[in-house]
Structure 1
Amino acid sequence: MVGQSKLLDKLKDLARNLWWCWQANVIDLFRELDPTLWHDVDHNPVEFLKRLSPEQLERRAAEMALDSRIDYAFRRLSEYLQDTDSWGAINATILRARPVAYFSAEFGLHESLPIYSGGLGVLAGDHLKSASDLGIPLIGIGLLYNQGYFRQSLDANGWQQESYLNADTELLPIENVLAADGKPLMIAIETATGVLRARVWRAEVGRTLLLLLDSNVPENSEDDRTLTARLYGGDARVRIRQELLLGVGGLRALHALNIHPSVLHLNEGHSAFATLEMIRKLMEETGLPFGEVLREVAQMTVFTTHTPVAAGHDRFPSQLVEEHLGKIREAMHLSYDDFMGLGRVYANDPNELFCMTVLALKLSRYANGVSSLHGVVSRRMWHPLYPNVTEEQVPIGHITNGVHVKTWVAPQMAMLFNKHLGVDWPKRQRYAETWDAIDEIDDAELWETQQVLKARLINFVRSRMVAQAKRRNEPDANLERFADVLDPNALTIGFARRFATYKRAGLVLQDIDRMVDIVRSAERPIQFVFAGKAHPEDRMGKELIQSIVKICRDERFARNVVFVEDYDMNVARHLVQGVDVWLNNPRRPQEASGTSGEKAVLNGTLNFSVLDGWWAEAYDGTNGFAIGIGRTHAVPSVQDERDHSSLIETLTNQVVPSFYERDAAGLPRKWIARQKDAFRTLAWKFNADRMVMDYVRRSYLPAAGGLSCQ
C-alpha cells in the first residue's frame, strides 16, 4: 500500500503541472491506466485520478509494469523544473529578478482547462509553453471562466445550440493562491458603484506560472459573482468589468504576491487597463507627476494587436469608463477630458468612444502585429494616431506568430523526427539546418506515417458523427452511414476555425453542381471535414454553419462532407494531424496570422490558402498551394468570385493531380516532395520558440532595460 500511495502522489504531481499535456509519454501513461475513463473525463488527469480506484491503479500498474514509467515521468518533470541550462538562463538574465507579466483574456493550454475560445487563446497558451521550455521568466495573467466558452451542438435543422457547464475547481489543475496570512488571496477594485473583488488561482505550466482571477466569491453581488462565468459573453458593462479585473486586478494580484514585473505584455487590448494601474501605483510610490510616470510605463509595455478589422476592437462609452476607472483617474490627478483622451484617436472629440487598442498603443513603446502583412494593415489602420509621420513610420512592427511544436506534432511524426533529425530536435527546432535532414527520410516511411494519422482521424470523425446522431435520436440507418463516412484513400481537406463570415467557410462549396463532380470523381475523389463555432450572437455565422450542414446531409455528399461538432483543442489536434490539406480562405487581408496552418505543417499536411496572414510570407511556390496571387479587389463580391475561381482551378489542376499521381510503388512522389519542402522551409520559422525569442530580443529586453524610476 505504501508503494501504491507513492505512485498515486507522483501521478497527482504530474497531473497538477500542465507540462504533461505536451509530453506524449505521460499522456500515454494516463490513457493506459484506463482508456475508457480517460476518454470519459475529456483527458483531464485531475478528474481521472479522483475517479480511478486505488485497486484499479494497483492492478493496472502491476499488469502494465507502469511503476518504472511513472517514476521516469516524475523524474523528468523534476529535472525539467530544476534545469538551469536553458536559452533564457543565458539570454534573458535581466528578467530573472523582475519577470514579464503576460496578460491575455484567454489561454488555450489544453481542452481539460476550458478558458479559451480559439486562436488568440491557443496562441497565448503556446506562448506560455515555449517560455517555459526556453526558461523565460514569465507569468501569465488571465480570468478563470467557470463556464468556459460554450459547448456546441447542432439541432435537427443544423442550427447551432450553445450550452454551458459549471466547472468544478476541484477537478481542474489549479489551486488557490494564499496571502501572507494563509487565507486565499483576494484583490479588490473600487468603482463608482461599489467594490469588485476576485480570488486568485494559480496553474503550473511547466516552469511558467499562470494566475487566474475569479469573481465568484461571496463578497460580490450576484451579478458580479457571474462576471467571470463566461468568455466573451454579456454586454458592454460585463465586458468592461471583465477587462477591469484582467488588467487592474491582474496587476494588483502580482503586487500582492510581491512580484514586480519589468515588462507588461498586453496580448490584445483587453488588458490595457493594466497600464493605468501601473501608472497610478508608480505615481503613489515615487511622487512623480503623471507625464513622467507615463513615459516610464510606456517604456516597459509591449502590446500585441491581433485584430485587422476596425470593428473588432473593444470600445466603451465614456460614462462607463468613468464609472469603472474614475477612482484611478482621480489618483492620477487627471481631468475627465484628459483621461478620456487616452482612449481616443482624436483626444478632444467627446463623441468618440474609448478604445482599448488606442489606450494600449498610446501607453506602449513596443507594438506589433502578428504577421508581416498584419503589421502593414495595422500601420494603415492606426495611422491617424500618428499624424506627423508617414504610414510606413507608424511605430507598429510585427512578430509573426508561431505554434508550440511538442503540443501540436503527432507522436508518430515526432518519432519519425527522433529517428532522422536526432532525439534532441525539439531543442534545435528553431534552426533551419535542423530540418535539412528531412530529405533523408524515405518517401515511403513519411507517407506511411501520415496514412496512420489519417486513419486515426477518420476513426475519430466516425465516432463523433455517430455520437452526434445518437444525441439527436436519429434512425439506425443514419448511424450506420456515419460509421462509414470518409474514405481512407481519398484526398481529405480540413477546414476548422471560428465561423466568422470573413473566413468564408462556404467558399469551396459555392458551386454545388460543379463540386458534386469533383467530390464524387470515380478515380480522384475528395472529401471535406468541417468544424468550428460561431459566436452566440453571430447569426450570420450560425447561418453559415447551417448551410454547410445542409450540404453534409445532401445524399450526393453524404459520405464525403462532414461537420464535426464542438470544435476544441482535441478536435483541432486530430484534424491538423490527420488531413492531407489544410484549407484557409479568408477575405484578404482580414486574417491577422492563422496559426492553424502552422500546426498542420508539423504533421505533413499541406496548406492550401489565400495569401494572407502568415501564409503571405511563408508560401514559396513549392511548399503548399496558394489561392490567388495576393491582390485584393475593392468590391468584396468581386474578390469572392475571383478567389472561388482560383480555389477551384488550383484544386483541380494542382492539388488533386499532385495527390493522385503515383509511381509504380504507389507513392505520390510530387506530393511528398512538397511535404518535405514544407517541413524544411516552414517548421524552423513558424514555431513558438522562435516567436518567444523574437519577443525577448526585440521587445522584452529593451523594455526591461530602459527603466529608471522603479
Structure 2
Amino acid sequence: MKNLPEQYAHPYPFASKFKKSVVYFSMEFAIDQSLKTYSGGLGFLAGSHMRSAYELKQNLIGIGMLWKYGYYDQTRNADNSMAVQFREKMYSFIKDTGIRFQLTIQNRPVWVAAYFLPPKTFGSVPMFFLTTDTEGNDSWARSLSYHLYDVDSSIKVAQCMILGLGGMKLLDELNYQPDIYHFNEAHAVSGVFHLYKKLGKVADIKKQVVFTTHTPEEAGNDKHDINLLASMNFFNDIPLTEIRKITGIKDNIFNHSLVALRFSKKANAVSKLHGDVSRTMWSGHSGVAPITHVTNAQNSLYWVDEELEKARKKSDLKKIATRKKELKATLFKTVADQSGKLFDPNVLTIVWARRFAAYKRPDLLTRDRERFERIMRNTRYPIQFIWAGKPYPFDGGAITIFNQLYYLSHLFPNMAVLTGYELALSKTLKDGSDVWLNTPIVTREASGTSGMTAAMNASLNFSTFDGWICEFANDQNSFVVPVAPSYPEWERDNTDISNLLDILEYKILPMYYDNQAEWQKMALQSMNDVNAFFDSDRMATEYYEKVY
C-alpha cells in the first residue's frame, strides 16, 4: 500500500517535489522539551528535520523509540557533583496505536508496541515510537526500551533490532511500503535483513535504502562480533553463511556503518568537510555506496526568537541589542536559580554548551589557569562564562570534567555550570549568550549544530575550524581559531588554548566594550548568513534532491 492508514495520514496534500514516500529511522528525536526521546545533537538534528518536513509538506514519516527513562535526568548530589537520575517518563499526548507484534531476540519472543505522535501536536510529520515496556513481556524484555544507549552492549544490540527489524515489522502491520528507507546513523541496519527476506536480492534493497553517517572516525562506528549478533537473531533467521555472502564480512567483526553503506544506493555525510573525511575513511572498503554530503541544519521556526527575527529582517541593530539584553536577563534567572550568582545583562557572556565528550574539550580554556583567571578578573573588560551539557551517564572521565568545572566556578562569581541541558535550556542559552564557544579537535566534529541556533539568535560563534563552521564562518560573522598542527596532541591543545585566549583577550572583549557598532554589525551579518543556508528547510529539501 502506498498510503498510510487514514488515522495516521499527513494532515496536508504533498508538495509536488516531495511526493516520494520516505520513512526516517532514528534512535533519538528531539521534537519537544516534554518528549524525552533524545540525548544530544543527533536528536536535535532529527527533530528539526521532522519539523521542516512538516512545514514543507513532505511525504515523510519518522520511526523512533519510546524510552521509558529517556536518556537521564541530570541533577546534583548533596556535594554538588553531577548525579544521574533515571525517572519514568509519562506522556498523555502519545497515542497507543493498538499495534503489537513479536520479535525474536536471544531466542525469546519479545512483544513490541507502537505509539503514535499526531502531526499537529508539535508540528512534526507523523511519528511512530516503539516500546517493549508492554504487557506479555518479562522484566528483561521490558528493560530493552528503558535506557537510550544502554551501557550493556547486548541490550544496545537488542535496541537496534527493535528500531530496525521492529520498524520494518511496524510498516508491514500498517501495510505501508515506502519508496525510501532512510537510516539516520546505522542503528537501524538490522532492518535490511527484513527487506532481504522480502525482496530476496541485495540489488533490490539498494534501490530503496539511504544512509546518513555522523561519525568522522572509524573507531567511533559500532562494531560487534558477528556470532553474538547471530545468536541474538539480529539477522532475522538468515543463516550466517548467507549473511557473510551478502554483507561481504569475511572476519568476525560486523561493522554496522560499513554494512549500511553496502546496502544503500546513496549515503551522505553531514558537512562538506565530513564528506571529504568520510570518503577517505571508507575508500579502502569494497561495495560502499557513493557518499555525498548534506550539511546539517536546524529549524529556525522552532529556535528563533520572534522579536530578534523581526529586527533582523529590518536590519534594526538597536532593537537587536535591546532584545538581546532582555533575553540575557531571562537566562540569568536560571543562572541565579541554579548557582546563586547574579549575572549582569550589560556584561559580555560566553556560553559553552553541548554534549560533554572528550574530543569537544569542554575545559580547554581553563587549562591555562593563570591566564584564564586574569581574563575572569579583568575589571576593564568584564566577562561572564556559562557551561552546560550532558556527559554520557556512564562516562566517568566526562563527568569528572563536568564536576571539575563546577568546583572551579566556586572561585568566580562570574562563572556558572548548569545542569539539565535539554531543548528548553539550550534555547534559553542561545537566546542569552553573546558568544557561542565551540572547541572540538579539528575533523572530529562531523557537523555540530548548536552554533547555528545560537547565530540565529544574535550570538557570535567563536570556534575551532571544524564541521559546519567551515562552510559558514568568515571574519565578518565569527571568530575562528587557526587550525593547529594535529600532533603531538599536547602541542595541538596548547596551540588552540593560546590562540583562543588571544582572540578572546585582544579581539572579542575590546570589540564588545569599545566598538559596539562593529559588534552589532557583525551579529546582524551572522544572523543573515546563518538564515541563508543553515535552516533545516534547506536540509530537508536537499535530502529529496541529492539523496532520495
Q: Into which bin does the TM-score normalised by the smaller protein fall?
A: over 0.9
Shift in Å, 1:501 = 0.8
Structure 1 segment 413-562 matched on structure 2, within 5 A: 413-417=308-312, 421=313, 440-465=314-339, 482=340, 484-554=341-411, 557=412, 559-562=413-416
Out of 23, 28, 32, the position equivalent to 1:106 is 28
* 1:199 equivalenced with 2:125 (yes/no): no
Deviation sequence 1:541-595 (CA, Å, 0-9, x none)? 01111110111012xx1x2110111211111010011100000000111011110
Q: 1:188 to 1:580 in 2, by over 3 A?
A: same
* 1:657 equivalenced with 2:510 (yes/no): yes
Out of 61, 81, 95, the position equivalent to 1:175 is 95
Q: 1:626 to 1:326 in 2, by over 3 A?
A: closer
State the distance in 2 between where 1:644 and 1:684 align: 31
Out of 520, 528, 535, the position equivalent to 1:680 is 528
State the distance in 1 between where 2:124 and 2:40 align: 24
CA contact (8 A) 1:135 1:207 kept: no
CA contact (8 A) 2:317 2:524 kept: no
Structure 1 segment 141-290 matched on structure 2, within 5 A: 141-168=63-90, 171-177=91-97, 184-191=98-105, 193-205=107-119, 206=123, 208-283=125-200
State the distance in 2 between where 1:340 and 1:534 align: 36
Deviation sequence 1:17-54 (CA, Å, 0-9, x none)? 9xxxxxxxxxxxxxxxxxxxxxxxxxxxxxxxxxxxxx
Shift in Å, 1:341 = 5.9
Structure 1 segment 688-699 matched on structure 2, within 5 A: 688-699=536-547
State the distance in 1 between where 2:325 and 2:147 align: 39
One-letter amino acid of the structure 2 residue matched with residue 130 of structure 1:
S
TM-score of the pair, normalised by structure 1: 0.73
- Give the 3-state SS of the residue equivalent to 2:145 in structure 1: coil
Shift in Å, 1:325 = 3.0
Shift in Å, 1:111 = 1.4
Structure 1 segment 392-407 matched on structure 2, within 5 A: 395-407=290-302
* 1:379 equivalenced with 2:285 (yes/no): no
Tell me which residue corresponds to 1:336: 240
State the distance in 2 between where 1:348 and 1:102 align: 30
Tell me which residue corresponds to 1:90: 16
Tell me which residue corresponds to 1:303: 211
Shift in Å, 1:192 = 5.2
State the distance in 2 between where 1:494 and 1:679 align: 17
CA contact (8 A) 1:447 1:672 kept: yes
- Give the 3-state SS of the residue equivalent to 2:133 in structure 1: coil
State the distance in 2 between where 1:635 and 1:582 align: 27
Tell me which residue corresponds to 2:423: 569
CA contact (8 A) 1:606 1:678 kept: yes
State the distance in 1 between where 2:435 and 2:237 align: 52
How large is the Cα RMSD of the aligned pairs?
A: 1.9
Q: 1:83 to 1:319 in 2, by over 3 A?
A: closer
TM-score of the pair, normalised by structure 2: 0.94
One-letter amino acid of the structure 1 residue matched with residue 518 of structure 2:
K
Shift in Å, 1:303 = 0.4
State the distance in 2 between where 1:678 and 1:595 align: 15
CA contact (8 A) 2:311 2:317 kept: no
Highest CA radius of gyration, 1 or 2?
Answer: 1
Tell me which residue corresponds to 1:30: none
Shift in Å, 1:460 = 2.3
Tell me which residue corresponds to 2:3: none
Q: 1:610 to 1:274 in 2, by over 3 A?
A: same
Tell me which residue corresponds to 1:51: none
Q: 1:111 to 1:82 in 2, by over 3 A?
A: closer
Extract unaligned runs of 5+ from structure 2: 1-6
State the distance in 2 between where 1:615 and 1:396 align: 20
Q: Judge which range, 575-584 or 619-628, deviates more.
A: 619-628
State the distance in 1 between where 2:524 and 2:100 align: 52
State the distance in 2 between where 1:125 and 1:670 align: 35
State the distance in 2 between where 1:172 and 1:310 align: 41
* 1:637 equivalenced with 2:490 (yes/no): yes
Q: Which has the higher strand share?
A: 2
State the distance in 2 between where 1:653 and 1:502 align: 26
CA contact (8 A) 1:157 1:546 kept: no
State the distance in 1 between where 2:335 and 2:244 align: 51
One-letter amino acid of the structure 2 residue matched with residue 137 of structure 1:
N
Shift in Å, 1:305 = 0.5
One-letter amino acid of the structure 2 residue matched with residue 673 of structure 1:
K
Shift in Å, 1:208 = 1.2
State the distance in 2 between where 1:158 and 1:632 align: 37
Shift in Å, 1:156 = 4.7
- Give the 3-state SS of the residue equivalent to 2:130 in structure 1: strand
Runs of 4 or more, structure 1, over 6 Å off, are none
- Give the 3-state SS of the residue equivalent to 2:63 in structure 1: strand
CA contact (8 A) 2:107 2:233 kept: no
One-letter amino acid of the structure 2 residue matched with residue 597 of structure 1:
G
Shift in Å, 1:280 = 1.2
Q: Which has the higher helix share?
A: 1
Shift in Å, 1:386 = 3.4
Out of 659, 665, 670, the position equivalent to 2:518 is 670
State the distance in 2 between where 1:221 and 1:310 align: 37
* 1:607 equivalenced with 2:481 (yes/no): no
* 1:356 equivalenced with 2:210 (yes/no): no
State the distance in 2 between where 1:304 and 1:569 align: 23
CA contact (8 A) 2:28 2:64 kept: yes
One-letter amino acid of the structure 2 residue matched with residue 413 of structure 1:
L
One-letter amino acid of the structure 2 residue matched with residue 105 of structure 1:
M
One-letter amino acid of the structure 1 residue matched with residue 56 of structure 2:
L
Give the number of equivalent residue pairs: 537
- Give the 3-state SS of the residue equivalent to 2:161 in structure 1: helix
Deviation sequence 1:248-285 (CA, Å, 0-9, x none)? 101110121111111000000101111221121223xx
CA contact (8 A) 2:365 2:497 kept: yes
- Give the 3-state SS of the residue equivalent to 1:582 in structure 2: strand
State the distance in 2 between where 1:278 and 1:83 align: 29
Tell me which residue corresponds to 2:4: none
State the distance in 1 between where 2:34 and 2:380 align: 42
One-letter amino acid of the structure 2 residue matched with residue 339 of structure 1:
I
Shift in Å, 1:338 = 4.2
State the distance in 2 between where 1:265 and 1:405 align: 23
- Give the 3-state SS of the residue equivalent to 1:617 in structure 2: helix
* 1:627 equivalenced with 2:465 (yes/no): no
Deviation sequence 1:585-641 (CA, Å, 0-9, x none)? 00111011110000011111000000100001111221110012x354222211101
State the distance in 2 between where 1:191 and 1:568 align: 32
CA contact (8 A) 2:202 2:246 kept: no
CA contact (8 A) 2:484 2:496 kept: no
Q: 1:509 to 1:541 in 2, by over 3 A?
A: same
Tell me which residue corresponds to 2:432: 578
Deviation sequence 1:642-701 (CA, Å, 0-9, x none)? 100110011111111111114xxxxx011011112112222110110000000011112x
CA contact (8 A) 1:307 1:592 kept: yes
Shift in Å, 1:106 = 0.5
Identity of aligned residues (%): 32
State the distance in 1 between where 2:374 and 2:338 align: 27
